[in-house]
Chain A
Amino acid sequence: MIGCNPYLVVPLLLTVALLQTTALPALEILGVKPELMLLMVLAWSLLRGVEEGLVWAFLGGLMLDLFSGGPVGASALALLVVSFLSGLARGSVTRGSFVLPIGVALVGTLLYQTLFLVVIQLTRGTVPWTDNLFRVTLPSLAVNALLMPVIFWVMAWLDRKTGREEIGW
């Protein structure tokens, strides 16, 4: 169910979350941090389908929430939704083509950020929607679309290397 070895997935996602909280803030592009976890979850869902994607989304989201000042579960919830939708498009993935992954990155980013902000609005209040749209979401769309082919290529390599494993919990 988890896809590749769970002893690898948990450290992998934890490493990505740590990178996103330590190294990536220093690598801002267009004023935004690359959303590595989001892109990885989207790519994995596209490659392996809904079930595996949801596990990655849940674990990865919780790990992000661990290091965030936002409410625990906000990232996890938003990631679960976009991962589910991304997983539905699994059958349409063509090896070597990045059109679908880029499209998924665009839609996924928009939906993920909107859901995240809705949770912030409900729990913390005061979300400057217009400013966030122009200063965060639009640059994020560009950055994530640009990075998605690289992430997807890496995840496709991981997909080939790990193969499918049926591990019950």
Chain B
Amino acid sequence: MRSLSNRQLLLIFFAFAAFLGIVLNEAGYLEPLEGVILRLISPLQARLATLVETSGGLFRAARDLRDLRQRNQELEEKYAQLLIENVALEEAAQENATLRSFFHFAQQHPGFQLVGGEVKASVIGRDPSNFLRYLIIDAGEAQGVKKDMPVIVPRGLVGRVQSVGSNWAKVLLITDPRSSVSAVIQTGRAAGQVQGLVSGDLMMKYISQEESVSEGEIVLTSGLGANFPKGLVIGQVVAVQQRDSDMFQQATVRPTVDFDRLEMVLVIAAFEPVDVTDEIQEETRGAGEP
């Protein structure tokens, strides 16, 4: 028989001690010893409990802080999201108002066929030069825009298409000095030619001296020359220059359109401008022949 190893002896010893402890405890012999030990340990236990409680509080506080931070971050994200949505809604409301005015305009002028994303084209750029007044819009041949088509907003005439690309067009504003529009005063029906000025205003020239023109009168397109449809608002007379020595009188016209704030425009697609260049050349040649 092999002798028992130390480990086996130790196991037997502790098992026996435990068994003895149980027996003595059940018999009530261990209570005094238990009381002494607990009395010695309890202060330490209390301190340990406080320490655990405190550290537990710290851990809870750290966890709470982490939760708060997370919550704060979530709220900030939510706020940013709502802010963006709010801006988008305001933009949508603005766009809606513009589109509604465009729609009313379209209803009031059923003869015009409006193009550019169905009814509108956005202004995507302006001429970089200080001498030229052009707009670049995001509607072109693909949307049915062609050269010389009139461009308007519900407030009035903007200009006409000067050149077209596949999805863009350059619009010559009526305030450009190279622009000329046949016009008529709404009340007196005095006819003239509205030209752009470097200042950004308009000048209605070649008004007959016999006509009476006064400040505040509305200037409309006359349709003469077939470059623009008849009856579009151009602006309002703010000053009249009339001298008896001149052959014509002229009037300074303030445009109804705020060209600096244009964001969307309408292109009148159904209107076909008439090119009279050939006829004029033919007439000139005819006049020159004997």
Main secondary structure of the interface of B (DSSP, over half): loop
- A140 and B125 form a contact (CB under 8 A): no
B274 smallest CB distance to A (angstroms): 21
Q: A22-B126, A25-B126, A131-B198 are in contact. Are A69 and B170 (CB under 8 A)?
A: yes
Main secondary structure of the interface of A (DSSP, over half): helix
Question: In chain A, residues 58-108, which have Cβ atoms closer than 8 Å to a Cβ of chain B?
Answer: 64, 67-70, 75
Assembly CA distance A17 to B131 (angstroms):
16
B163 at the interface (CB under 8 A from A): yes
Q: Which of B130, B132, B177, B197 contacts A69 (CB 8 A)?
A: B132
B172 at the interface (CB under 8 A from A): yes
Q: What A residues does B136 contact at CB under 8 A?
A: 21, 67
Mark interface residues in B167-194 (1 if CB within 8 Å of A CB, else 0): 0001010001110000000000000000
Q: How many B residues face the partner with a CB closer than 8 A?
A: 23
- B198 and A68 form a contact (CB under 8 A): no
Which size bracket describes the interface of A in this complex? 20 to 34
A125 at the interface (CB under 8 A from B): yes
A87 smallest CB distance to B (angstroms): 23
- B128 and A17 form a contact (CB under 8 A): yes
Closest 9 CB pairs of A and B: A69-B134, A131-B198, A20-B128, A21-B125, A25-B126, A135-B198, A136-B130, A21-B128, A69-B170
* Chain A residues packing against B (C-beta within 8 Å): 17-18, 20-22, 24-26, 32-33, 35, 37, 64, 67-70, 75, 113, 116-117, 120, 124-128, 131-132, 135-136, 140
